[in-house]
Amino acid sequence: MCGAAGRFGVFAMNESGNGTQPGGVDLDALRRRQPRFQGLDGGHRACLGCAQALAARLVLEAAGPDVAVANATGCLEVFTTPWPESAWRVPWLHSLFENAGAVASGMETAFKAQGRAVKVLAFAGDGGTFDIGFQSLSGMIERHHDVLYVCYDNEAYMNTGVQRSSSTPHAAATTTSPAGRERLGKRHLKKDILSIVAAHHMPYAATASVAYPSDLRKKVRRAVAVEGPTFLLIHSPCPLGWGHDGAKSIEVARLAIETGLVPLIELERGELIGAMPIREARPVTDYLKAQARFRHLFVDTPQAHRELEHLQALADHNIEIYGLRGTGPDPRDTASADTVRRGGARWA
Amino acid sequence: MPQALEGSQAIARAVALCRPQVVAAYPITPQTHIVENIAKLVADGALECEYVSVESEHSAASVVLGAAAAGARAYTASASQGILLMGEVLYNIAGLRIPLVLTCANRALSAPLSIWNDQQDSMAVRDAGWIQLYCAGNQEAVDTTIQAFRITQETELPVMVCVDGFTLTHTLEPIELPSQEDVDRFLPPFRFARALDPAQPLSLGTLVSPDWFTEARHSQHGALLAAAANIEAADADWAALTGRAWGGLLEVDGPAAARIGILTLGSISGTLQDARAAWPDLPPVRLLRLRAFRPFPAAALRAACEGLETLVVLERALSPGGGGIVTAELCAALYGLDAAPAVRGFAVGLGGRDVPLETYRRAVAAALAPEGGEFAVLDVDLDKLPEADRYPEAGPCAAPPVDSESSR
Ligand SMILES: Cc1ncc(C[n+]2csc(CCOP(=O)(O)OP(=O)(O)O)c2C)c(N)n1
Ligand code: SF4
Ligand SMILES: [Mg+2]
């Protein structure tokens, strides 16, 4: 992380105002020389193995430097900007929890009014997207702002200590949907945000996973190239909230895909245009067993058995409706050029 | 040449003269005519600007926040429930030191539901860190709107221009609209030093630990206080350009020999001036009008109280269970002053209750009464209330009886 002083709450990459750091390093030249653009620097305060931190880095690698980020309140915002330091190498604005969609709308409108080629990205957690920020996201899409909205989905309010959100999967235990004698974790289904977003005549909406970085980057590039609203839901394991070792984040993320619980799909104007095939679907218990938030399901009671069957049925349903059982290319294939793209198609 | 314009229309034209690049708004009575007029100016090509019709006031404030942070001159308007829904964002805008202008078409807050005028809405966000300017009339609203755009970019503090709903927003008056050349001369192009820019990446809105928060608030408080000079300079420069000045922070009008003063904000002051002219036989009265409520012009108020024995406050809001908001701040400003006037505060004109000329006579009578408490709600019809709510209207300071023959 870099350190500098400025107006409170405003971290400046440098104070001199000419893109050169006191040490004489030309930031602009440095940026252009990097084989991969690194928009989120190391040294931030995320937990070890935080997939959200990795996901944000991957998004910026693919989106390139000519972007500006509106970040909702949440873990990502907090762990990247402990004043007077910041891990961001792109212009970044955090306002509030529920207004990332609206702040991004304003930024995009302003850049358009000034004729400036800057792609606006909105970053928010699942709480800031599925729940409290849903209205401003819906407004942003309806007004057709040229913004890529990225939801880092760790399936709970992690920043405030693991409370349930409407993205928390059925039966997962959180501090506000705890498992006990009478209850087996969250009683409600995970909201199907992608379909809801897609129902806005959405040009492009997709899911991605940190376990498939080249697929993730490809989807970012695709989204950035669209002139209009796009949405990317990135499944991002949280070792702290899910209860797994930080070293296992990618493994856990991959299991979510391989069981069919989290389908990797792309929608254009609401129509399915692509799905990551699963060669050999694994039982959901492989995924659930890896996390403490589902531990209460592994007891020998009729209720627990029923919940496990229910979760397996949800995965089977995904595999069915999205046609995930496939023989297509190996999803772990990472062949993809990592090019620094500036601005997106509109500005190419 | 003056044109007959509705207040809202005049304010919209003033906004357009300031060449905003982004306007975002959500409709609410009595602000609607302002934003409708701006939308029409954009639709007709008379104003080149991005007009964003948002899905809530929370988003209206958030859109202009983002727009200004990205380097655009931005404007929004709201009232009442809309101001409260924006509340969280208003604090955020101010704390981030984002320059933009908002018109508050002052209206009461629910419940009970009322679409009519008082100033409870802007008073509810007085601590948000915004500059607040209150206008007495529509010509002042036009001129103040233009001044606000200059003040905000000089100070990097957001400015709320408060105009009484209906009384000003829906009233047709002869208005002198300044020329585009004059406005361009007065208002330099918008440039925000901390604008979001990929070539110059800044992080705005970071997390601060207890080690820093106190200092951040200290800076913000100081910036608000220092903005007093910018408000006065803007008014003075505007006067040099157009011949019209509005009193800077505090308008003081009346004889030095007066022993009675009346302090108010907004459009009531015109009523008081008319009443004073209508009853020249009453004791001389000095009329004080807070044009700036934030920053609070304590020093100017102390100076304006010179020679006064009693100062009556007429304010269009209250803090239930506390008392008068302006009254309390005035008392704090006068505390410790040698020969500070006695203060009698009244809430008047709540939820659109008419403020007739007679209010002036009642204020003068209250000032002359030997006894008086610090605050009461004026003009309460106790007969409408259940027995339990009929506590004396004015508590220890009974409002002076109305002279029925002169009632208007
Ligand atoms: C209006 C408002 N309500 C509540 C909060 C407290 N809060 C801050 S972050 C957060 C949860 C964030 O959850 P999510 O969006 O999923 O992001 P995560 O931290 O999990 O990445 C909550 C409840 C707040 N900052 N603002
Ligand atoms: S709590 Fe979870 S989301 Fe937050 S920083 Fe830690 S691992 Fe990342
Ligand atoms: Mg979350």
The whole-number average pLDDT for the span A241-260 is 97
pLDDT of residue A122: 99
pLDDT exceeds 70 at position A318: yes
Domain B252-389 has CATH 3.40.50.920: yes
Residue A203 domain boundaries: 35-347
Q: A153 CA distance to ligand 1 centroid (A)?
A: 13
- Establish if A24 belongs to a structural domain: no
**Interval A119-165: pLDDT, tens:** 999 999 999 999 999 999 999 999 999 999 999 999 999 999 999 99
For A19, the closest of B66, B89, B200 (CB atoms) is B200
Indicate which CATH number applies to the domain containing A218: 3.40.50.970
| Tokens matching residue B169 | 């927003």
Q: Which of the four pLDDT bands, split at 50, 70 and 90, describes residue A27?
A: confident
Q: Could you identify the atom of ligand 2 that is nearest to the CA of residue A75? A: 4
- Establish if A268 belongs to a structural domain: yes
pLDDT of residue A342: 41
The CA-based diameter of chain B, rounded to the nearest angstrom, is 73
pLDDT of residue B395: 47
Q: Which of B203, B217, B220 to mutate to test the interface with A (most CBs of A within 10 A)?
A: B203
Task: Count chain A–chain B contacts defined by CB atoms under 8 A.
Answer: 202
Q: Which of the four pLDDT bands, split at 50, 70 and 90, describes residue A336?
A: very low
| Tokens matching residue A232 | 């990317």
Q: Where in chain B is the domain with CATH 3.40.50.920?
A: 252-389
Can you say whether residue B266 is alpha, beta or left, with left for phi > 0 and alpha for psi between -120 and 50 degrees?
left
> CATH homologous superfamily of domain B3-193+209-242?
Thiamin diphosphate (ThDP)-binding fold, Pyr/PP domains (3.40.50.970)
pLDDT of residue B406: 42
- Establish if A277 belongs to a structural domain: yes
- Establish if A261 belongs to a structural domain: yes
Chain-chain contact of B72 with A88 (C-beta, under 8 angstroms): no
Mean per-residue pLDDT of chain A:
90
Cβ neighbours around A270 below 10 Å, total: 14
Residue nearest to atom 1 of ligand 1 (CA): A97
Q: Which residue bears the tokens 């320059």?
A: B99
Mean pLDDT for each 10-residue chunk of chain B (408 residues)?
97 98 98 98 98 98 99 98 98 98 98 98 98 98 99 98 98 98 98 97 97 97 98 98 98 97 98 98 98 98 98 98 97 95 97 97 95 88 91 53 44
Please name which of A178, A297, A185, A290 lies closest in space to residue A245, comparing C-alpha atoms: A290
The whole-number average pLDDT for the span A237-258 is 98
Between A1 and B127, residue with greater pLDDT? B127
- Establish if A7 belongs to a structural domain: no
Residues 18-57 of A with CB under 8 A from B: 19, 28
Contact residues for A321 (Cβ-Cβ < 8 A; gap 6+): none
| Tokens matching residue A334 | 């990472």
Task: Give the ligand whose atoms come closest to the C-alpha of residue A132.
Answer: 1
pLDDT exceeds 50 at position A208: yes
Q: Which of B63, B73, B191, B214 to mutate to test the interface with A (most CBs of A within 10 A)?
A: B63
Can you say whether residue B395 is alpha, beta or left, with left for phi > 0 and alpha for psi between -120 and 50 degrees?
left
**Interval B228-257: pLDDT, tens:** 999 999 999 999 999 999 999 999 999 999
Please name which of B28, B88, B58 lies closest in space to residue A137, comparing C-alpha atoms: B58
pLDDT of residue B397: 44
- Establish if A172 belongs to a structural domain: yes
* Ligand 1 mutation pick, A73, A131, A149, A162, max ligand atoms within 8 A of CB: A73
The H or E element containing residue B133 is strand B131-134
Question: Got the DSSP string for B270-300?
Answer: HHHHHHHHH-TTSPPEEEEEESEEES--HHH
Q: A246 CA distance to ligand 2 centroid (A)?
A: 10
- Establish if A230 belongs to a structural domain: yes
**Interval A44-81: pLDDT, tens:** 999 999 999 999 999 999 999 999 999 999 999 999 99
pLDDT of residue A339: 39
- Supply the angle between the helices A51-63 and A213-225 in degrees, to the nearest 10: 50
Q: Which of the four pLDDT bands, split at 50, 70 and 90, describes residue A31?
A: low
From the CA of B206, how many Å to the nearest CA of chain A?
5
pTM of this structure: 0.93
> In Å, how far are B84, B102, B105, B111, B166 from B115, measured between CA atoms?
14, 19, 11, 11, 9
Q: Which of the four pLDDT bands, split at 50, 70 and 90, describes residue A19?
A: very low
pLDDT of residue A328: 58
Interface membership of A12 toward B (CB under 8 Å): yes
Q: Could you identify the atom of ligand 1 that is nearest to the CA of residue A167? A: 16
Chain-chain contact of A109 with B207 (C-beta, under 8 angstroms): no
Residue nearest to atom 3 of ligand 2 (CA): A238
ipTM: 0.95
pLDDT exceeds 80 at position A18: no
Starting at the edge strand that comes first in sequence, how are the strands of the sheet with B292-294 ordered? Answer: B50-53, B22-25, B74-78, B101-106, B159-164, B131-134, B292-294
Starting at the edge strand that comes first in sequence, how are the strands of the sheet with B310-315 ordered? Answer: B250-253, B285-290, B260-264, B310-315, B342-347, B375-377
- Establish if A26 belongs to a structural domain: no
pLDDT of residue A29: 76
Instruction: Say how many domains are in chain A.
Output: 1
pLDDT of residue B407: 38
Helix extents (H) in B126-259:
138-155, 180-186, 210-242
Q: Where in chain B is the domain with CATH 3.40.50.970?
A: 3-193+209-242
Q: Which of the four pLDDT bands, split at 50, 70 and 90, describes residue A5?
A: very low
